[in-house]
Structure 1
């Protein structure tokens, strides 16, 4: 009995290690995009990844044919959303030292854009995951894409020493 449990534990550990070897890099990149941190300085993204992998490992035996990557991605997204909500009281713009490529987007825009475009999650699935109507997910994704493709212009520099001609 003990040998069988030990063998099952070893098999479980090998399967999970193989999953992490294949999925951790992509999940870390998604987490880094979500947190808008610099790719080489991303402690919040690494924490999100660690929590998502720990949650996936804790539920490994209960997956029963379910894709572990989907489970980890779902936990990563919901944990990010909950963290933003608790930290800032909603999906506002407040965040420390944004440096990533999606830094000009709100957390909600980043979340939807990462799910839809980087992860390839269907609108319906993203809407169900976030508890939003499909139309809302579509409009937020469109707005975020437009913001990235056509960033707002910086204000014109002030002209110093200019004189107004007398009339």
Structure 2
């Protein structure tokens, strides 16, 4: 009996190690995009990934055909959303802006952009994961893309402002 449990435990560990070897890099990149940290200095992203992987490992035997990457990504996204909600801080609490490209976006916009554009999750799947309507996910994604392509302080092209550019 003990030998069988040890064998199952070793198989479980090998399967999980193989999953981590294949998926950890992409998941860490997604977590780094979410936290808007620099790729070489991303302690929050590493913590998020570690917690998500620990959760997946704890559920490994109960996955029953479920995609472990999808499970880990969902846990990563929901944990990020929960932590972002708790970090919002009250009066007098200052927030330090992270240095990454996506730092100008709100945490919710970052989450939607990472899920939709980097991870390729459909609007409906992102909406279900975040507890939002598909229309809300679309609006958040469109707003985030507009903010990234036309940052504040830099004027938008004339066609975007509503005036046509005369052909040359």
TM-score, normalized by length of structure 1? Answer: 0.87
Aligned residue pairs total: 152
Query: What does 1:19-58 align with in structure 2 at a 5 Å threshold?
Result: 19-58=19-58
Distance apart, 1:153 and its partner CA: 1.8
1:123 and 2:123 correspond:
yes
Preserved CA contact (<8 Å) 1:37 1:97:
no
More helix by share: 2
Query: What does 1:10-159 align with in structure 2 at a 5 Å threshold?
Result: 10-88=10-88, 95-153=95-153
Q: Cα–Cα, structure 1 residues 95 and 74, in superposed 2: closer, same or farther, change >3 Å?
A: farther
TM-score, normalized by length of structure 2? Answer: 0.87
> Pairwise CA RMSD of aligned residues?
1.6
Match of 2:165 in 1: none
Unaligned runs of 5+ in 1: 156-167
Deviates more, 1:3-12 or 1:144-153: 144-153
Tell me, in whole angstroms, the C-alpha distance in 1 between the residues paired with 2:107 and 2:39: 17
Unaligned runs of 5+ in 2: 156-168
